[in-house]
Structures are given as structure tokens and as C-alpha cells.
A and B are shown apart, each in its own frame.
With several copies, the nearest count.
Chain A
Amino acid sequence: MIDAHQAERIVEAALLAADGPVSILRLANLFTAEDLGERSAQTLVREALDALGRRTAGRGYELVRVASGFRFQVRQEFSPWVSRLFDERAPRYSRALLETLALIVYRQPVTRGDIEQVRGVAVSSSIMRTLSERGWIQAVGQRETPGRPTLFGTTRRFLDDFNLQSLDQLPPFEDLQSFVATHGEDAQAEPTPDETRPLAEVVQLPVGEQ
């Protein structure tokens, strides 16, 4: 003979272990004659379900009745948090995309042709589309050369997403070599001695010295 508290915990355990809703009949069949004594299994189950319904009031989950029986269900109000468990892992952007973005950032306004010239390979349309859809780049005009190619620049959204107030906050190009030396995996460039020098001075350096 089991008592009502025991029965309640068995029903609780069964509902939590089951893969879907469980009918009252199936729950009743969990109990043996020995468990029951003179009592009706279905009555025992119903009383247990009542108790469990009361117990889960105000919890993260609730007891719900659906067509095929009873189940515990996470409350809808917690969906915003719980759903984060199941968010897909973000894919990673390709190197080609990052290089394209970097060139647009540093050399804007630029055309696809400009980017292709520096990268040495064609820029795929899907990269430009991805960057546009992400809201990081936009067409800012057209160059008045044959074909009137579109000029691209970065957006405010780009600054927001990279937590920048203005592009000024990015390291000037001249510092990149040393930046890569400390952060990149395959950098062979030595840090330039003038990396902390303000931009204005750098500008005056003869190109050949860099």
C-alpha cells in the first residue's frame, strides 16, 4: 500500500519521464494491486494530478491536459529565455567576406572593382548581399567612370554593431602590421616603432619607409 503523497510523486515522476502526454489509464496502470489495496487506481491518479496542478502554480512549468492525456509543459512566459537554449550556433563569416568588409571600411567609398583589384579575385555577389542585408554596408553613390560602378561605404549600423562611435576609433592602417603581430596567428611583420604616433605624423612619412 502506498500513500497519497507517494502516489503523487510517482505520477509526477512518470509525467516528467514520459516523452509525451500520458493518459489517466496509462498512469493508473503503473500501480500494482499491492500498491492500491482497496482503492481505485484511477481515483488515486486523479487525486495526484489535482495535487500536482496545485503544486506547479507559479512555477516555471505547469500541468496541462491535452487530447491524449496530461503533460508537464514549460510556461509560455519563459519562452524568451528557454528559446535561447535552442538557438542555432551562429555560422562564421568567410575570410573573403571579412576581407571585403575590411576594405570597404578602410577605403570607402569603394567600388567592387576597387576591392577586386586589392584582393586579386572577383568579389562574389553573395558577399555584397550578405553585408548589405546585415546592414553594415550601403551604396553611397556611383563613380562617374564608364559603367558607373556603385560606390559602397559603411553604415551607422556597422558602427553600432562594432561598438564604435566613429571609424576614427579603429586602429589606423599603419598600426595594422603590429596589430597582427600581436593578435594574428601567422604574422611575420615586426611591430613598427612608430605605432603610437598620431595619424598626422604618420601621414608625412615617406611611403618607402613603412
Chain B
Amino acid sequence: MSDAPTRLDAARERRDNVVALIDGKVFDELPADLYIPPDALEVCLEAFEGPLDLLLYLIRRQNLDILDIEVAEVTEQYLRYIDLMKALKLDLAGEYLLMAAMLAEIKSRLLLPQPAAEDEEEDPRAELVRRLQEYERLKRAAENLDELPRQDRDLFGAHAGKPEWVKARVQPTVDLKELMVALAEVLRRADLHQTHAVQLEGLSVRERMSDILARVNAASGFVAFDALFDPREGRRGVVVTFLALLELAREALVDLVQNAPFSPIYVRPPQARETS
């Protein structure tokens, strides 16, 4: 099934009732004895999409109604085409032979005496007729589809040059929910009890611990204890800061130093100690 233009052209010609092109000469009528010059036959056969297509062609040539096929007649013609194809040693697809067998079977069934029974036995042609009709519809649908305006053949997108731009490096965004789910997941895998114990101070205290640590380390010396409290934060802020300092001291992340009783308290980075 190549897309060779000759075959396409042949298909198109056939639609216009032309049987064959031989040396550029148009034959628009089938010889009565169905003899077709071998060259033309080849062109014709290549234009068929399969046994259904060939059969449909034969029926249409005779101006017959699909619903009223003379199976004997059509089978005869079909087999003669097949024989010719064989004689010409054309590469004959198995489907053509299958169809020949099916036609022969239908023909023989039609020759059998009809049973008188009222059980409405299906007409042996019904299945063939159904397939031919559906194939014919498909052919028409395919033609319709081909006629629709199509991008790049009939339709062209309208574009203008893009302006210059700096490509932004887009950072992933994280939804708070994702963060929660990640934490819950990791904690489920870890020792929950221990985690709870650590968690007890609450987030505001943990946050304040980081703040204080950052300030103390930035000062790289002493920070006055008082300076870490911001009265504008109110009572709650003072408590949070106080708890944070206690926790930092407990975890030995800061040292609290006082030179003398009632003298100012200072916070400083911890001095290396010997761990006992």
C-alpha cells in the first residue's frame, strides 16, 4: 500500500468512471467479455484497497444494488479477476482468496433448497451485504475527512516573531499541604514518642530558638539577655523568647553568663566543653 502517485491517480480516475489508463488512453467502458489488458488490470488492482473494495467496484460497475446482489454473477466475475491476478503472478493478498471462498460458500448455500420453516433463517448474503455497506460508508467518510480543511494544506496558522525575553527559571512551588504530608510520613516512619517529646515546645518556641541562635552567632560575642526581648510582642512574645532561651541553654546551643549576682545576663555562643 504505497502512496505512489500513480495509484492515487488511478483511484481518482476510477471515481470518474474511468476503467483504466493504457498508454495515456482512457478506457471508460468495460469490455463485454471482461477482458482487461494486463497492464490496465495491474493499475486497477493496485488501486483497490482490498477484496471488499474490489467487490464493491464490481457491484457498482453493474449498477447493482448492494441489497440485491446476484451472488452467482458477482462471484463469477470476482473469481475471474482472481484468476487473472494469479496468472499475472501479482502478489495476491490472502484476504482476496478468503473472500473468494466466502463468495463460493454463499453461492452454494443459496443453491440449496430453502427450508419451508418460518424461523426466518438469515439470508446467507446478509453478512456480506452488511460488510459491504459498512465499507462503503467508510470510504465515503474517508473522502469527507480528506475534504475537510486541514492545517498546513488548506489552513495556515498566523504567527509573528517572538519578542526577546529572558527565560525565567521557574522554581517549584510547594503547597503547605505537601509539607504537612511529608512530615507526617517521615514521622510515621520514625520514633513517634521521641518526636513528640521534642515537639513539646511548640513551633513559636522552635522558631524563636533559630532567631536567637542566628542573632547570637551573628554578633559573634555577647548579646545582652534583655536585648533579645521585644516588649512590643507583649506578654506572650516574652514567654516564647524565654522558653526558647531555656531550651537553647538546655540543649547547650548557647551559654547564659552572668559575671556577678544581679549584673546583666549575657547570651553567647557555647564554649567548647569537654563532654563527660
Does a CB–CB distance below 8 Å link A and B in the complex?
A: yes
A residues at B contact (CB < 8 Å): 13, 16-20, 61, 64, 71-76, 78-80, 82-83, 86-99, 101-103, 105-109, 117-122, 124, 127, 134, 138, 140-146, 148, 151, 153-154, 160-163, 166-168, 170-174, 176-177, 179-180, 183-185, 187, 189, 199, 202-204, 206-208, 210
Known contacts A102-B138, A119-B190, A143-B253: A74-B163 contact under CB 8 Å: yes
Which residue of chain A lies nearest to B129 when distances are taken between CB atoms in the complex? A179
* A74 in contact with B186 (CB, 8 Å): no
Known contacts A93-B3, A119-B138, A203-B66: A163-B210 contact under CB 8 Å: no
A89–B168 CA distance with the chains assembled, in angstroms: 10
> A73-B158, A176-B187 given. 18 additional CB < 8 A pairs?
A16-B156, A17-B156, A61-B160, A64-B161, A72-B157, A76-B164, A82-B162, A98-B181, A106-B141, A119-B138, A144-B253, A168-B204, A168-B207, A170-B145, A176-B137, A202-B136, A207-B63, A208-B193
A174–B193 CA distance with the chains assembled, in angstroms: 12
* B213 in contact with A151 (CB, 8 Å): yes
Q: Which residues of B contact A185 (CB under 8 A)?
A: 120
A172–B141 CA distance with the chains assembled, in angstroms: 8
* B161 in contact with A71 (CB, 8 Å): yes
CB distance from A188 to the nearest CB of B (A): 9
Provide the B169-210 mask, 1 if CB < 8 A to any CB of A, else 0: 111111011111111111111111101111110111011011
B232 CB–A CB distance under 8 Å: no
* B61 in contact with A207 (CB, 8 Å): yes
Which residue of chain A lies nearest to B182 when distances are taken between CB atoms in the complex? A98
Known contacts A98-B178, A144-B252, A176-B134: A107-B206 contact under CB 8 Å: yes
- Residue from the list B133, B150, B184, B270 in contact with A162, Cβ < 8 A: B150
CB distance from A11 to the nearest CB of B (A): 13
* A17 in contact with B51 (CB, 8 Å): no
B80 CB–A CB distance under 8 Å: no
A170–B138 CA distance with the chains assembled, in angstroms: 14
Q: Which residues of B contact A93 (CB under 8 A)?
A: 3, 146, 172, 174
* B193 in contact with A163 (CB, 8 Å): no
Q: Which residues of B contact A140 (CB under 8 A)?
A: 210-211, 213-214, 217
* B182 in contact with A173 (CB, 8 Å): no
Known contacts A17-B156, A76-B164, A145-B275: A207-B193 contact under CB 8 Å: yes
CB distance from B266 to the nearest CB of A (A): 16
B residues at A contact (CB < 8 Å): 1-3, 7-8, 11, 15-17, 49-53, 60-61, 63, 65-67, 93, 95, 99, 120, 126, 129-131, 133-146, 148-174, 176-193, 195-200, 202-204, 206-207, 209-211, 213-214, 216-217, 251-253, 269-273, 275
Known contacts A93-B146, A173-B195: A120-B185 contact under CB 8 Å: no
Q: Which residues of A contact B53 (CB under 8 A)?
A: 120
CB distance from B71 to the nearest CB of A (A): 16
* B192 in contact with A83 (CB, 8 Å): no
* A74 in contact with B145 (CB, 8 Å): no
Which residue of chain A lies nearest to B162 when distances are taken between CB atoms in the complex? A17
* B183 in contact with A99 (CB, 8 Å): yes
CB distance from A157 to the nearest CB of B (A): 9
Known contacts A127-B1, A174-B137: A16-B167 contact under CB 8 Å: no
Known contacts A134-B171, A144-B253, A176-B184: A16-B206 contact under CB 8 Å: no
